[in-house]
Amino acid sequence: MKKMMHRAAALALCLVLALSAAPAALAAGTPLERTADYVCQTVTDPTVGTAGGEWAVLALKRAGRLTADQEARYLENLQKCLEDSDGVLSSTKYTEYARVVLTLTALGDDPGNVAGYDLLASLAECDKVVRQGINGAIWALIALRSAACTAWDVQGGALVEAGDVYLSAILAAQLSDGGWALSGKTPADPDITAMALCALAPYQENDAVKTAVERGLGCLSAIQNDDGTFGAPTAESCAQVVLALHELGISPGDARFTKGGVSAREALLTFARSDGSFSHVPGGMADQMATEQALCALAAQEVEGSFFLPDTAGETPDLAIPAPGGQAVTFPDIQGRADQSAIEDLARRGVLLGRSDGTFDPDASMTRGEFCAVVVRALGLKKTQESPFADVPAWCADAVAAAYEAGIVRGTTATTFTPGGTITRQEAAVMLARAARYASGTAVSYSQAACESLLRSGGSDWAQCGAWAARDVALCLQSGLLGGTNGTIRPRSPITRGEVAQSVAGLLHSAFLA
């Protein structure tokens, strides 16, 4: 009996030792690896939200640990969320949109078209964004830069760039101690101050911004505690400081941010637990938000350049735009017309072709297939795969495939393109806007007020624009990409061959291809 009791005790002791060793096994690897392991295990179905959502996806992507299943689940959940809410993530917290935009750009997805919704447009609503508080302006500015998006709003009756509005709001909110606070009053919050510095980091060629950054860094140094933490110690505050230092190109071990021999990064690691998670306060329980913020900071150390920019930032497609040289070409039926030079320019490039009888027929309409072929020739696009459309004839199949691959065209259904359908002016504007975005690698978005203002400036029939095309028509009007506009937009009328020449010539000579 005693022998059995000794054996039972020994087994129990072995079990205790095995269980006590388990956390140590989970804790193998670097702090980044341990925390990434923890987030991978706890966030298997990422949702739209501050914890278990975008920060986890963004941090894992930057750490090179996001799985294909996690990415697919997040995108599925986001689409369902948008469909259930008719595209409204929040009517008061515009940081919801900024967080999603940051995540989508990191994944290489277009935040301007998610299940048919333009999330960038919400970040163009300046008054609503700023009304949330200084964090609204901070994250809107970071998100718009991440998406390479110029957003426009109307302020005082004039079009303004939303980014300029947010930059001014951040500078105006700086406190007397050099920092920023959610309350708008001193003393500064270390996390909000660090977030503001992240937003300001790319704009330091501006003297006012550079001065504000220096004052902000001085504030953080002044409120660092003797144990290396900042203000009322939290993991999130330390994580945001480490992230801000990275965005500013400052080592987290910089002497200005090391107190008591403890650097900002080392202070962050004092919140780490043996299982890879982080606590909100020293010695606390595992906290998902603190863990994901810490992972963002740790992953940033592995990233060249800004943590918030996608891997493809600054890249533009390799276009083969036809040279403007070549033998002069003209047609007898275009002499003296407003579109003559545009037609002749594109004809020399081989982008536009005349009729078999030697005329150009400038007032004739154009089909969807013909317009697609013109845009593809203008940009020099080549297909690398077939399109999903079963109704495209051989003469334009390669052009439609190349345009579809570039995101310039979509079908009338999942499997049809309707290439023989006459293309309207607003349909052409949508394709031109997409072509401009693709060619430049940048996005343009508008608040509702800015969109309406631009449409009104285009013509008295502006209200005839379909809601699905309005923002693209606005972009074309602002950028001079919609030919034939002379007091009217005529969005539902067929676009003529002469107007196509003006529009495509405008694309080739626009700032999008500068």
Q: What local confidence, expressed as pLDDT, does residue 29 receive?
A: 86
What are the residue ranges in the chain where pLDDT is below 50?
1-27
Token pair in block for residue 126: 């300046």
Cβ atoms of 108 and 312 closer than 8 Å? yes
Provide the sign of the torsion angle of the four alpha carbons 171, 173, 176, 179, taken in this order.
negative
Query: Within a domain: residue 15?
Result: no
397 in the same domain as 250: no
3-state secondary structure 91-106: CCCCHHHHHHHHHHHH
Q: pTM of the full predicted structure?
A: 0.90
Are 278 and 377 members of one domain? no
**Final residue of a domain: which of 255, 276, 300?**
300
Q: Which residues face 159 on adjacent strands?
A: 154
292, 342: one domain:
no
| Span 256-291, pLDDT tens digits | 999 999 999 999 999 999 999 999 999 999 999 999
What pLDDT score does 278 carry? 98
Which residue, 450, 440, 467, 456, is CA-closest to 151? 450
Domain edge (last residue) among 300, 318, 349: 300
CATH code where residue 43 lies = 1.50.10.20
62 shares its domain with 104: yes
On whether both 277 and 373 belong to a single domain, the answer is no
> Going edge to edge, which strands form the sheet with 149-155?
158-161, 149-155, 443-446
Contact between residue 252 and residue 242 where contact means Cβ atoms under 8 Å apart: yes
CB atoms near residue 28 (< 10 Å): 10
Residue 323 lies in a domain: no
Together in a domain, 191 and 340: no
Q: The tokens 């002497």 sit on which residue?
A: 255
Q: Is residue 322 included in any domain, yes or no?
A: no
From CA 370, how far away is CA 359, in angstroms rounded?
Answer: 17
Choosing from 278, 300, 322, the residue where a domain stops is 300
According to DSSP, the β-strands at 262-263 and 149-155 are unpaired
Answer whether residue 195 is part of any domain. yes
For residues 356 and 276, state if they share a domain: no
Task: Determine the structural domain holding residue 40 and report its residue range.
Answer: 30-300
Is 25 domain-assigned?
Answer: no
Count of structural domains within the chain: 2
Distance CA 240, CA 242 (A): 5
Residue 21's pLDDT is what? Answer: 37
Query: Residues 339, 290: one domain?
Result: no
- Compute the distance between CA of residue 103 and CA of residue 359 in angstroms, rounded to an integer: 51
Q: How far is CA 56 from the centre of its chain?
A: 17
- Asked if the structure places residue 502 within a domain, the reply is yes
CA atoms within 13 A on the CB side of 356: 0
Q: Are residues 272 and 349 in the same domain?
A: no
Output the pLDDT for position 514: 66
* Same domain membership, residue 415 and residue 475: yes
Q: Which 8-state DSSP code applies to residue 48?
A: S
347 is a domain residue: yes
pLDDT of residue 28: 63
Please give the Cα distance from 349 to 441 (Å, whole number). 24
Is 23 within the bounds of a domain? Answer: no
Sign for the pseudo-dihedral over CA of 23, 28, 33, 37: negative
440 and 336 in a common domain: yes
Question: Do 291 and 344 reside in the same domain of the chain?
Answer: no
In contact, 40 and 279? CB cutoff 8 Å: no
